[in-house]
Amino acid sequence: MSDWDASVVRPLALEVLGERYRRYRLSDPVAEEAMARSLQRYGQIAPVVVCVHDGSAEVVDGFKRLAAARLLLPRWSTLCVRLLEVDDRAAKAAIYALNRVSRSTHELEEAWIVHALVREDGLSQVEAAALLGRHKSWVCRRLAILERLSPEAKEDLRLGLLSVSVARQVVRLPAGNQTEVLQVTRRDGLNAAEVRGVVDLLLASASREQEEYVLAKPREALQQAHGTTPRTWDPRLSVAGNRVARRLAELLDGLERLEHWLLHRGRAELTPSERGLLTPSFTRLVRDTVVVADVYAAGDITAFHHPLFDRRLRLESWRHAQNQGIAVGKAMCGDATPYDDIPWFWTDQHGVNLQVAGLPADAVRTVVRANAPPSVFTAVHLAKDGSVIGVTAANNPREIRAGQALIKANCPVDPDALLDANIPLQRLIRR
Ligand SMILES: Cc1cc2nc3c(=O)[nH]c(=O)nc-3n(C[C@H](O)[C@H](O)[C@H](O)COP(=O)(O)OP(=O)(O)OC[C@H]3O[C@@H](n4cnc5c(N)ncnc54)[C@H](O)[C@@H]3O)c2cc1C
């Protein structure tokens, strides 16, 4: 070995390739068989990397190729090898570094390497971090996986029965309590996020009874603690389908709570300025719900939130059907703007043109305009705060147009000025 130029790749017999560092890697028989097929078909593309330890060649990178070549014995008896001139510690670091580019080291393998450097070679965590080119916290987390995990959990991890993300949560508990959490995880098929929640609850439990409840009914405990929807699995749906079903359940749960609030306390609980601040969000909720549900509707059939009246409306008039239809058509083309037309209805009955704007039914007071010609009639409907909420007019379309502007202005008007039909409504609009 002493005459080996490190820049030269040379063939070495399989039996002289040592596997001293094999214990830092997980074995994968399926991948080894696939590698054997690849060796047969394409030959050895990349050399195995070795270092010299006590005079013999020890594999640092290429355990899978070595195992595959051994499967092909006696036809395959040598492998091309490249020498890495490093000491024992640097060889361990190289196992990690050579696989880091392809991200092929398992977190458990990294933990074994870190453990060997710190506990066997006596490096401090800071030194190990520097050697591996990682932060000290990275080293600390990997050390914790091996040192704080119970023997049973460690074995499960090695065999691939336990994921590293779950192991990372379990190590937060004393080793004595880890087994029961692992049993619950297996029994109820908990995911890493749920295990994290369960561990949080166990750490916060004040009595054994509380702990037992969390262990017996982990999802119910999580739901009670966080109000989250328990994770369920619908076998009729794919992974993506189940993910969407969970999101929908969360959204519907939130809507139900909001509806409950509207029913029992409602917007009256909010100050007018708060309502103003929240109105854009309500409008957006309506718009986004339509977009997400991919269902559009307009006209008689719809109930919708009207931003000006701040309440849910259903209207039956042809102009509403027409204008809401236009707004919905625009929204379908990506131009979504809040639909806030003032309700307006007209009809001709027995030679009388009758028009109604706004919501007269919501008024607390109605002022009938006096001094108008006999064929003309206008009534102005006022809300609690003195603003105009509706106008009813017979043979007086001009007043209806002005009335719509007054409704939109949404500010109190002088009732005495309203009384006199000689003062056009147009003049009462504050700009
Ligand atoms: C007698 C009457 C008088 C009215 N007078 C006035 C008035 O004077 N002024 C005014 O502003 N408004 C008036 N309206 C209200 C106005 O007509 C409606 O508000 C407006 O037509 C609603 O339009 P729309 O498109 O939402 O619904 P519609 O006009 O009802 O259209 C819905 C359409 O869907 C069809 N349809 C239903 N189910 C199905 C199905 N399963 N599959 C396929 N198609 C289906 C129906 O046949 C219909 O053609 C009046 C309504 C009535 C009934």
Let me know how many helices (H) and strands (E) the chain has, helices first: 17, 11
- pLDDT at 231 > cutoff 70: no
Ligand 1 neighbourhood includes 353 CB (under 6 angstroms): no
CATH value of 344-428 in 2.60.120.10, 3.30.930.10, 3.30.390.30, 3.40.50.720: 3.30.390.30
- pLDDT at 422 > cutoff 80: yes
CA distance 257 to 222: 18
Strand arrangement, sheet containing 352-358: 344-349, 352-358, 388-394, 377-382, 365-368
Burial of 194 (0-12, 13-18, 19+ CB in 10 A): buried
Pocket test of ligand 1: the residue of 300, 301, 345, 353 to mutate, having most ligand atoms within 8 Å of its CB, is 300
Handedness of CA 128, 130, 132, 137 (dihedral sign): positive
CA distance 202 to 180: 11
- Residue of higher predicted confidence among 426 and 325: 325
CATH fold match for the domains 10-176 and 344-428: no
- Residue of higher predicted confidence among 229 and 294: 294
Q: What is the mean pLDDT of residues 80-90?
A: 90
370 token code pair: 């006096």
CA distance 90 to 111: 16
Q: What is the mean pLDDT of residues 215-219?
A: 91
Q: Is the peptide bond between 74 and the residue preceding it cis, with omega within 30 degrees of 0? A: yes
Distance 315 CA to ligand 1 centre (A): 11
Ligand 1 neighbourhood includes 316 CB (under 6 angstroms): yes
The pLDDT value recorded for residue 103 is 55
pLDDT tens per residue across span 120-153: 888 999 999 988 888 988 898 888 888 888 888 8
Decide the pairing of beta strands 377-382 and 365-368. Answer: antiparallel
Q: How confident is the model at residue 378 (pLDDT cuts 50, 70, 90)?
A: very high
CA distance 233 to 221: 18
Residue 82, strand partner residues: 49
CA distance 409 to 431: 8
DSSP SS3 for 30? helix
131 token code pair: 């050697």
Domain boundaries along the sequence of the chain? 10-176, 272-332, 344-428
Distance 322 CA to ligand 1 centre (A): 11
Whether 61 contacts 95, CB under 8 Å: yes
Ligand 1 neighbourhood includes 38 CB (under 6 angstroms): no
Tokens 């009809």 correspond to what residue? 347
- Centre a 10 Å sphere on the Cβ of residue 421 and count the other Cβ atoms it contains: 18
Is residue 188 within a helix (H) or strand (E), and if so which, with residue range? helix 175-188
Ligand 1 neighbourhood includes 347 CB (under 6 angstroms): yes
Residue 12, strand partner residues: 79
Question: Which residue, among 347, 359, 407, has the nearest Cα to 425 in the 3D structure?
Answer: 407
Q: What is the mean pLDDT of residues 252-275?
A: 73
Reported pTM: 0.45
DSSP SS3 for 366? strand
On average, the pLDDT of the chain sits at 85
- Centre a 10 Å sphere on the Cβ of residue 380 and count the other Cβ atoms it contains: 28
CA distance 227 to 221: 9
Phi and psi of 76, rounded to 5°?
-115, 105
Distance 318 CA to ligand 1 centre (A): 8
Q: What is the mean pLDDT of residues 163-168?
A: 78
Whether 391 contacts 381, CB under 8 Å: yes
Tokens 């500010």 correspond to what residue? 411
Tokens 């262990």 correspond to what residue? 215
Percent of the chain with pLDDT over 90: 29
Phi and psi of 201, rounded to 5°?
-65, -40
- Residue of higher predicted confidence among 229 and 430: 430
Q: How confident is the model at residue 102 (pLDDT cuts 50, 70, 90)?
A: low
255 token code pair: 């809507």
Q: Which fold would CATH assign to domain 10-176?
A: Arc Repressor Mutant, subunit A (1.10.10)
For ligand 1, what atom is nearest to the CA of residue 316? 19
Nearest CA to ligand 1 atom 11: 317
For ligand 1, what atom is nearest to the CA of residue 344? 11
Residue 352, strand partner residues: 349
- pLDDT at 431 > cutoff 60: no
Strand arrangement, sheet containing 10-13: 10-13, 78-83, 48-53, 56-61
- Residue of higher predicted confidence among 366 and 277: 366
Ligand 1 neighbourhood includes 322 CB (under 6 angstroms): no
Q: What is the mean pLDDT of residues 149-160?
A: 79
Alpha carbons within 13 A on the beta-carbon side of 392: 12
pLDDT tens per residue across span 18-77: 999 988 887 777 778 888 988 988 888 889 999 998 889 999 999 989 999 999 988 889
CA distance 67 to 203: 45
The pLDDT value recorded for residue 101 is 61
